[in-house]
Chain A
């Protein structure tokens, strides 16, 4: 499910659409979470909880501190999965 960047991205898009009802077309690597997708810090907490469940890994909220875009989230997940 998280084998490469594309797979992570498409799973993340699926999650964002399901959790926050954003439009799938709006989810691009460069889409800004709060400005373009209206995802706020409370949503981010829910998103991290969800990602923890999916990856089965511990995710420290600090890893998401500098996250601004969808691409940043993908990178953060990549890192978490790689650290395995």
Chain B
């Protein structure tokens, strides 16, 4: 019937496939549940205890960081993946503009679990998502609606010494396609005069890619690798003025960096 249809050769399901599938189902439920627990159980007392919104936000971010660390650990011990992070100490320094490529749904969870006082730019729709809105509002994350506002808020956040996490592609990487970066990341770096910290994320075989449902997990267990590089030499910004041309230059540098790193 499908003589002309290309069929991938059957891949043997290994590395405890069914257990990984079950664990993945648990992980998704746990994530949603965690969002609700933060929103209805852990965050409400923060409003009473900490009157200063800045302090409350910091506490909320600490809680999210711990929750994400636990979640990443859960997925690790249940055998969903193995992972390694190189250069983690760079992420712990304050005031980092952390830019990463974006192969999987859980990249941001990994990154935030390792970055103290992390701010991040999140889909505006999450501010209306019942599972996520508690976390994203209390932590003071930045909705990705208006580009100029995003840049201003992110730059202000960096100037306060918070770290900002952003995927310059704006959406998950589509494997095999040339990278397409938006220029917002470059503008943040220019405005805050912060050389970005670059994180290359490799996931092999790929999991939780764009347009792939959660239950279609890879046949073998994925391995995540995070390589952190300080961008002072790679992407110098100190001498540059905030102009469209400077933003283009930095964006091109970021694009060649990630293209090369991902090919390596």
User: Is A19 touching B147 in the complex (CB atoms < 8 A)?
Assistant: no
Given A40-B147, A40-B182, A42-B151: A20 and B187 within 8 A (CB)?
Answer: no
- Give every chain A residue within 8 A of B247 (Cβ-Cβ): 42
Which B239-264 residues have C-beta < 8 A from chain A? 243-245, 247-248
- Give every chain A residue within 8 A of B147 (Cβ-Cβ): 40-42
- Give every chain B residue within 8 A of A46 (Cβ-Cβ): 243-244
- Contact pick for A20, options B148, B182, B244, CB 8 Å: B244
Residues of A contacting B: mostly: helix
Q: How many A-B residue pairs have CB under 8 A?
A: 25
Residues of B contacting A: mostly: helix
Which B141-157 residues have C-beta < 8 A from chain A? 147-148, 151
A residues whose Cβ falls under 8 Å from a Cβ of B: 19-21, 40-43, 45-46
For B160-182 the 0/1 string (1 means CB < 8 A from A) is 00000000000000000000001
For the complex, is B34 an interface residue (Cβ under 8 Å from A)?
A: no
Among residues of B, the one whose C-beta sits closest to the C-beta of A43 is B244
For the complex, is B221 an interface residue (Cβ under 8 Å from A)?
A: no
Among residues of A, the one whose C-beta sits closest to the C-beta of B245 is A21
For the complex, is B140 an interface residue (Cβ under 8 Å from A)?
A: no
For the complex, is B95 an interface residue (Cβ under 8 Å from A)?
A: no
Counting chain B CB atoms within 10 Å of each CB, the highest count among A19, A21, A42 belongs to A42
- Give every chain B residue within 8 A of A21 (Cβ-Cβ): 245, 248
- Give every chain B residue within 8 A of A40 (Cβ-Cβ): 147, 182-183
For the complex, is B184 an interface residue (Cβ under 8 Å from A)?
A: yes
- Give every chain B residue within 8 A of A42 (Cβ-Cβ): 147-148, 151, 183-184, 187, 244, 247
Distance of B8 from chain A, by nearest CB (Å): 33
Distance of B153 from chain A, by nearest CB (Å): 14
Counting from the closest, the 6 A-B pairs by CB-CB distance are A41-B147, A43-B244, A42-B147, A20-B244, A46-B244, A19-B244
Q: How far is the CA of A43 from the CA of B182 in the complex (A)?
A: 12
9 other A-B residue contacts (CB within 8 Å) besides A20-B244, A42-B148, A46-B243: A20-B245, A20-B248, A40-B182, A42-B183, A42-B184, A42-B187, A42-B244, A42-B247, A43-B244
Q: How far is the CA of A41 from the CA of B151 in the complex (A)?
A: 12
Distance of A2 from chain B, by nearest CB (Å): 22
Distance of A29 from chain B, by nearest CB (Å): 22
10 sampled A-B residue pairs with Cβ under 8 A: A20-B245, A41-B147, A42-B147, A42-B148, A42-B187, A42-B244, A42-B247, A43-B183, A45-B148, A46-B244
Q: How far is the CA of A45 from the CA of B151 in the complex (A)?
A: 13
Q: How far is the CA of A44 from the CA of B248 in the complex (A)?
A: 14
Distance of A22 from chain B, by nearest CB (Å): 10
- Contact pick for A19, options B182, B183, B187, B245, CB 8 Å: B245
Q: How far is the CA of A41 from the CA of B187 in the complex (A)?
A: 12
- Give every chain A residue within 8 A of B183 (Cβ-Cβ): 40, 42-43
